[in-house]
Amino acid sequence: MADLHGILALDKPLGFSSMKAVAIVRRRAGGARTGHAGTLDPLATGVLVLALGKCTKEIDRLMATEKRYLTTIDLTAFTATDDTEGERTEVALGAPGARAAAPARDEVEALLAERFTGTVMQRPPAFSAMKVGGRRAYALARKGEAPELAPRPVQIHSIAVTDFAWPLLSLDIHCGKGTYVRSIARELGQALGTGGHCTMIRRTMVGAFGIDRAVALDALPESITQDWLDAHGAAGAGG
């Protein structure tokens, strides 16, 4: 087993699970102990912070740092997964229980400021890694036993609307540990009287690690050495 130590920010590509990314880095690092500081969904891209060797002791600290995400939300439908993987349940304007007309941008921004900023109660997605009775929620959901997860407090520092052309809403989210972007999409849609699921999620920051410091998966060498890790990551635990 290789004796490598460091912290590496990876730009995780679409379709890869966080654990698959960890496995690739571990193999290329000669079997060095490797872990990640916060799951990134397969349908999300962006910063996945990996810790190798002695730096794995820093994972809890890194997981507690602030995050930033870019996301695009489709307001015309809900899905069971709160992203594009699940089957769509359409919400047509003017239908029973839905609003009559599309919301204006200023209405969306006012709602985000009032109900989605600060310490908010958020219900995690049924398809998530939360544990229910010792089992992952997504495992239960895939068997048709989707659990009703209780809302929990999360910290959302800011949400900025970067673009809005009905039905697609793009947001820049700055938040604390444990915040689910997919839950923001679902709960915003419920509050607006529309649908709401994420069509794109990109994590652009984990603590001190911005997307500009992240290494693309296809840029990883076949054999990761300490010199390469020192040059492309953070050799010390301080990040």
Helix (H, G, I), strand (E, B) or coil at 89: strand
Q: Please choose, from the candidates 38, 15, 14, 12, the residue with its C-alpha nearest in 3D space to the C-alpha of residue 25.
A: 12
pLDDT for 73: 98
Q: State the pLDDT at residue 165.
A: 98
Residue 180 sits in the same domain as residue 221: no
State yes or no: pLDDT of 142 exceeds 90: no
Burial of 238 (0-12, 13-18, 19+ CB in 10 A): exposed
Give pLDDT, residue 140.
46
Same domain, 216 and 201: no
For residue 112, the enclosing domain spans: 67-205
Q: 181 in a domain, yes or no?
A: yes
Question: Domain check: are 198 and 99 in the same one?
Answer: yes
pLDDT band of residue 239 (cuts 50, 70, 90) is very low
Kindly list the catalytic residues.
41
Rounded to two decimals, the pTM is 0.90
Task: Write down the residue that tokens 């709160």 correspond to.
Answer: 82
Give the pLDDT band (50/70/90) at residue 144. Answer: low
Residue 201 belongs to some domain of the structure: yes
Residue 63 confidence (pLDDT): 92
Give domain status of residue 171, yes or no. yes
Same domain flag for 138 and 200: yes
Classify residue 1: in a domain, yes or no: no
Residue 129: pLDDT band by 50, 70, 90 thresholds?
A: low
Residue 135 reports pLDDT greater than 60: no
Q: Is the dihedral of CA 35, 38, 42, 46 positive or negative?
A: negative
Residue 11 sits in a domain whose CATH number is 3.30.2350.10
Is the domain of 119 the same as that of 87? yes
* Look-up of token digits 């609307």: 161
Q: Do 200 and 106 belong together in one domain?
A: yes
Residue 131 binned pLDDT confidence (cut-offs 50, 70, 90): low
Say whether both 113 and 215 belong to one domain.
no
